Amino acid sequence: MIKHAIEARAQIGLLGLLHLHFKNNTIKVSAVLKLIQILALAALAAGCSTVDFDYPKPESSALSETQDTYLAKHFRGAGDSYPEDYAGFQTLSDGIEALSVRLALADLAEKSIDAQYYLLKKDVTGKAFVLSLLRAADRGVRVRLLLDDMFTGGYDAGLAGLDSHPNIEIRIFNPFASRSARFWDGITGFSRINRRMHNKSFTIDNQVTLIGGRNIADEYFGARKDAKFGDLDVLGIGPVVQDVSSMFDTYWKHERSAAINAFAKMPEDPAIELERLRKAFTQAEKEIMTTRYAAAVTESIITSAQGELGMFTWAPYQLAVDSPDKSISSKSATAASITTPLLESILAAKKEVLIISPYFVPGKSGVEALVKLQESGIAVTIITNSLAANNQIMVHGGYAPSRKPLLQAGIKIYEVRADATIAGSEIVAADDAKTTLHTKAFAVDRKEAFIGSFNFDPRSANINTELGVIIRSEKIATEIAVLIEEKAPAGAFEVFLNDDNKLRWRGLDNGVDVVLDKEPQSTQWQRFQAGFYRILPIDSQL
């Protein structure tokens, strides 16, 4: 999946020019010359920019002496009746609950917070999240925040301000060298910039951890009126927490994790920036607290804080994670890969494999592997986004050619509707808000399940770093399977081939079964874009 600014901007620019051409049948030469001018200036601005990856970074590791914290005491003894290699897990599919758990845990933190994210927006939920970290730091909690640099444009001053807090340290993974000419920096340094940290983890007092598919932005938590993402996180207690902490430390200390001072133009007085940010975010919080969404989150926070230990399912597990060396082209081929345990899990199936992936681009080898599974008697089902629901049309173009060979083999495919219901979005989201599947999970034989950040596409497999957990639990695997079975009829279109080997979509229209011969709920322009991307040789980047 292409989820970074270089290709996103290239996509917008290309489509804009195409749209202008088809609308007006001409593109003014002056506009092209202007574009060349802008690129030339960007090249000059980026030409002397570098990242000092050798810039000194303070030594720190996950805190081990946290047994006297509230969370340690709260969960003490929870796994005593299970083997030592079992951990406790609780899935979070509701957006409001997923946010409230994060805020509640930050409020309960006493010693440390380690947060690692691909995307942190400066919107309602982003501000609430940052405020929760800041307030924890004010109480004396050590906060380490590791962010990928793809979506931090314009954030340098605020990040420097946060970093100036005595209890907060921020590092940026694989930063752009030029802060003002990222587009050009991405072109000239593509082999490095193209590799992103897509991991998501949130660990409190080395006692509780939260990993999964959600970034920190309104659409993941039901707080946007125009977009709602269906996603899945998993809360973990027990030994899995130390595994995630060890993973975090490996990324935190990695050569691609840079201190703010190593690349950013620092404000004259970061402390002033910190107070400016605190004031602005606190004022925004006051305004937000009058909304129905805030009331729902507050109520959910209280429920989360009073959660019962019995809500956790104890099971053996395996943390699945890429080595951060994958972010370095020269080391990526030999770096430990998340694909190894994931493939082992799927290929061990005896009866059934259910795959949920918003950005599903299996490629030729992936199609062959899935077809082989199906032909061996294993029922394979794929759940992904429809064209109308997909927020990455380029990816849909890469996925579309795989449908026929998969269907011909007997594999079932369901594409999520753009108007599907998403738990936790009913408070804010308007009725016509676009739904996008963002869950990354699979279930094997209803006995083990994967939840994490990994998409079934070349980008997750070969370019970005990813994180997740394989849980060997019949209960959790069955929960995922049942969720699909219950939601698919009303929330997705089943793709099939008719007698003439043509793609068709079966779904409900006001409760009535219908069969469609075009990508459901899509516009002609969306179908044109997907078709255009389908012919481009870019599958390896999707």
Is 387 within 8 Å of 519 (Cβ atoms)? yes
Which pLDDT does position 86 carry in this prediction? 98
pLDDT of 224-252, one tens digit each?
A: 999 999 999 999 999 999 999 999 999 99
The active-site residue, picked from 156, 205, 218, 539, is: 205
Which pLDDT does position 13 carry in this prediction? 34
440 belongs to the catalytic site: yes
CATH pick for 316-541 out of 3.40.190.120, 3.40.630.10, 3.30.870.10, 3.40.718.10: 3.30.870.10
Confidence of residue 178 (pLDDT cuts 50, 70, 90): confident
- The distance from CA 428 to its chain's CA centroid, rounded to whole angstroms, is 21
Considering only the top CATH level, what class is 70-311? alpha beta
The active-site residue, picked from 121, 253, 445, 475, is: 445
- Beta strands (DSSP E) in 215-356 are 227-230, 233-237, 257-259, 313-321, 352-356
Confidence of residue 509 (pLDDT cuts 50, 70, 90): confident
Is 143 within 8 Å of 106 (Cβ atoms)? no
445 belongs to the catalytic site: yes
Q: What is the pTM of this model?
A: 0.90
The active-site residue, picked from 198, 228, 447, 487, is: 198
Which pLDDT does position 5 carry in this prediction? 37
Residue 477 CB neighbour total at 10 angstroms:
24
Domain boundaries, the chain: 70-311, 316-541
pLDDT of 363-396, one tens digit each?
A: 999 999 999 999 999 999 999 999 999 999 999 9
Reported residue count of the chain is 542
The active-site residue, picked from 111, 440, 447, 487, is: 440
- Give the SS3 label for residue 236: strand
> DSSP secondary structure string, 63-77?
----TTSHHHHHHTT
Distances (CA, A) of 302 to 2, 78, 138, 297, 299: 38, 21, 22, 9, 5
Alpha-carbon distance of 455 to 432, in angstroms, equals: 27
Confidence of residue 4 (pLDDT cuts 50, 70, 90): very low
The active-site residue, picked from 4, 165, 200, 396, is: 200
Is 311 within 8 Å of 90 (Cβ atoms)? yes
Which pLDDT does position 98 carry in this prediction? 94
Mean of pLDDT values over 119-145: 96
Which pLDDT does position 61 carry in this prediction? 97
Which pLDDT does position 418 carry in this prediction? 95
For the chain, what is the mean pLDDT?
Answer: 89
404 belongs to the catalytic site: no
The active-site residue, picked from 434, 438, 447, 487, is: 438
Count of CA atoms in the C-beta half-sphere (13 A) of 311: 15
Percent of the chain with pLDDT over 70: 90
Highest mean pLDDT: which range of 21-25, 152-156, 445-449: 445-449
Same fold, 70-311 and 316-541: yes
- pLDDT of 20 higher than 80: no
Amino acid of residue 469: V
Alpha-carbon distance of 359 to 415, in angstroms, equals: 11
Is 469 within 8 Å of 451 (Cβ atoms)? yes
Alpha-carbon distance of 413 to 418, in angstroms, equals: 16
Percent of the chain with pLDDT over 90: 74
111 belongs to the catalytic site: no
pLDDT of 418-458, one tens digit each?
A: 999 888 888 887 777 999 999 999 999 999 999 999 999 99
